[in-house]
A and B are shown apart, each in its own frame.
Chain A
Amino acid sequence: MPKHTTGTREQWLAARKELLKAEKDLTRRSDEVARQRQALPWVRVEKQYRFDTDEGNATLADLFRGRLQLLVYHFMFGPDYTAGCPHCSAIADGFNGNWIHLANHDVMLWAVSRAPLDKLAAFKRRMGWTFPWASSAASDFNYDFNVSFTEEQQRSGTAEYNFSKTGVSDTTGAPHDLPASVGTDWLTYIRELPGMSAFALEDGVVYHTYSAYARGVDSLWGLYQWLDRAPLGRNERGFWIRRHDEYDKR
């Protein structure tokens, strides 16, 4: 057991109330950051992107399915991967329960990856997920939104991730057993990186409103928000997350 202070109910309660003030303050700052996100200007999406979906070919506007807003989770699943990234899979376990609620609040949530649709469909079946998942293999979507990188970009060090050229190299500290989990080498593995993008549809025109990467998607990862409240917090060293059907196989 970790060394830890224990106290009476009164001592605990006094400390807890003190923390509550800080938590409330943080919640209000979170609301304020969300307001600033909404105040961001939008950019008209000029390029025509093609996606491969269960319903056939689709444009970016088609992905809205009649909603005004579209959220895309950039799921790391490159064409050479043998399975989707385990961390993205853990995030997807969360939004697999969300998307129906979002769809009824005028927001469509999609996962988008570069792997071909049949690979995505087989993996989705294995994991028992229901959210819509499109392949962006046929267009530059992943490259334009800075979640996929070419070998040339890797060689020349010109790839930008999380709004910075150092964003990609920041990921080199990631556990090196991750590539094995998707059946690739390290460089192939990090040709895809995680993120999310938001879009709005007005008068038939699609606007890009927001994108986030790296720890910018931390709050979307419900699992971590729970662990943050457990006695020992995230309490992690190295790569512990497995796809939800793989934990027994360790």
Chain B
Amino acid sequence: MARTNGKIKIAIEGGTADHGIVPHDRWLAARKKLLAKEKQFTRERDAINKLRRQLPWEKVEKEYVFDGAGGKETLADLFGKHNQLLVYHFMFAPDWKQGCAHCSFWADHFDAIGVHLAARDTAFVVVSRAPMSKIKPFKKRLGWKFKWVSSGGNDFNYDLMVSFTPEQLKADELEYNYGTGPIKATDREGASAFYKHRGDVYHTYSTYERGIDLLNSTYNWLDLTAKGRDEGDRGQFWVRFRDRYDT
């Protein structure tokens, strides 16, 4: 018999959890207490956003040329008519058969944002080292609309610290996530931001690993559920390509 007061046990990944069941007024009191902490967190996030905008910018001196669907494009070209450029570093190495499943999960979130970002003077482009001959059919398979270019012919991925040479992989000190992240692959995930002024391009920001956590709103939704991300200690074990789920 279900109760309106007491405890019930629920299954979570890797075990069970007890949940208190209470009348609405007691839930409301607990919820309001949490609301104060959530508001504090939102304000702390706003403060971090302000710190991001205060970072100094570095001028991009190197000329990067990418392969796009319509031919060669420089980094400055990727801005289109905008002054800001956001790049998602999608893990897709030249010798891989397909792009990373986890980056694909992220891509399902950002596929629709380009048109909105454009209204904020911001271009959005996905960059991978794989050749366009691999990128094009994979993008078509997943039905994505965003712009995707190949950096296979330049150092962009290496300079932005999302791709690593065999020598770097062997070495002890690697600079992924500013030297704090372990590397197990030639290509890793991340996001970078640029600003264009009078033809000059400035690198303003890059982030990696859990730095892109907030960009995946599935996780932000799951953070609001009773079971949370519910992955136990097997992070993202359940994630598949959107066309590879059973249901």
Chain A residues engaging chain B, CB cutoff 8 angstroms: 1, 4-9, 11-13, 15-17, 19-20, 22-24, 26-27, 29-30, 33-38, 40-44, 46, 68-69, 71, 90, 93-98, 100-107, 109, 162-163, 196, 198, 200, 202-205, 207-212, 215-216, 218-223, 225-236, 240-242, 244, 247
Q: Which chain B residues in 62-116 approach chain A with CB under 8 Å?
A: 83-84, 86, 105, 108-113, 115-116
| Interchain CA distance A225-B210 in the complex, whole Å | 13
A38: which of B24, B214, B227 is its contact (CB, 8 Å)?
Answer: B227
| Interchain CA distance A95-B228 in the complex, whole Å | 17
Identify 6 residue pairs between A and B in the complex whose beta-carbon atoms are under 8 Å apart, listed by A's number: A26-B44, A36-B37, A109-B221, A208-B27, A229-B205, A247-B119
Chain A residue, CB-CB nearest to B205: A229
| Interchain CA distance A12-B20 in the complex, whole Å | 49
| Interchain CA distance A101-B48 in the complex, whole Å | 29
Chain B residues engaging chain A, CB cutoff 8 angstroms: 2-4, 8, 10-11, 17, 19-24, 26-28, 30-32, 34-35, 37-39, 41-42, 44-45, 48-53, 55-59, 83-84, 86, 105, 108-113, 115-122, 124, 177-178, 180, 191, 193-195, 197-198, 202-207, 210-211, 213-218, 220-230, 238-240, 242, 245-247
| Interchain CA distance A8-B61 in the complex, whole Å | 11
| Interchain CA distance A221-B116 in the complex, whole Å | 12
A16 touches B206 (CB 8 A): yes
Consensus secondary structure, chain B interface = mixed
B112: which of A24, A71, A93, A208 is its contact (CB, 8 Å)?
Answer: A93
Chain A residue, CB-CB nearest to B21: A42
Extra pairs beyond A26-B45, A98-B218, A104-B245 (18, CB < 8 Å): A6-B58, A11-B56, A11-B58, A12-B56, A16-B206, A22-B48, A23-B48, A30-B213, A36-B37, A41-B27, A42-B20, A202-B10, A207-B19, A216-B35, A219-B223, A226-B110, A228-B45, A235-B120
A29 touches B112 (CB 8 A): no
Which 10 A-B pairs have CB atoms at the shortest separation, nearest pair first?
A: A93-B112, A97-B108, A41-B20, A7-B56, A205-B2, A34-B223, A12-B58, A41-B22, A231-B195, A219-B220
| Interchain CA distance A212-B32 in the complex, whole Å | 11
Report which residue of A43, A212, A225 has the largest number of chain B beta carbons within 10 angstroms of its beta carbon: A225
B225 touches A69 (CB 8 A): yes
- In whole Å, how far is A57's beta carbon from the nearest beta carbon of chain B? 23
A247 touches B112 (CB 8 A): no
B116 touches A163 (CB 8 A): no
Knowing A97-B108, A200-B226 touch, does A226 contact B124 (C-beta < 8 A)?
yes
- In whole Å, how far is B130's beta carbon from the nearest beta carbon of chain A? 22
| Interchain CA distance A226-B53 in the complex, whole Å | 13
Inter-chain residue pair count (beta carbon < 8 A): 291
A202 touches B2 (CB 8 A): yes
Chain A residue, CB-CB nearest to B239: A101
Measured between beta carbons, the chain A residues less than 8 angstroms from B120 are: 227, 230, 234-236, 240
| Interchain CA distance A90-B220 in the complex, whole Å | 16
Chain A residue, CB-CB nearest to B58: A12
Chain A residue, CB-CB nearest to B144: A97
Chain B residue, CB-CB nearest to A208: B27
Knowing A43-B22, A202-B8, A222-B110 touch, does A230 contact B45 (C-beta < 8 A)?
no
Measured between beta carbons, the chain B residues less than 8 angstroms from A33 are: 34, 37-38, 41, 223
- In whole Å, how far is B205's beta carbon from the nearest beta carbon of chain A? 6
A1: which of B2, B31, B32, B83 is its contact (CB, 8 Å)?
Answer: B83
- In whole Å, how far is B75's beta carbon from the nearest beta carbon of chain A? 15
Measured between beta carbons, the chain B residues less than 8 angstroms from A41 are: 19-22, 26-27, 30
A29 touches B207 (CB 8 A): no
A230 touches B56 (CB 8 A): no
A94: which of B24, B109, B229 is its contact (CB, 8 Å)?
Answer: B109
Measured between beta carbons, the chain A residues less than 8 angstroms from B122 are: 227, 230
Measured between beta carbons, the chain B residues less than 8 angstroms from A227 are: 117, 120, 122
A104: which of B10, B11, B194, B240 is its contact (CB, 8 Å)?
Answer: B240
- In whole Å, how far is A137's beta carbon from the nearest beta carbon of chain B? 24
Report which residue of A22, A35, A208, A231 has the largest number of chain B beta carbons within 10 angstroms of its beta carbon: A231
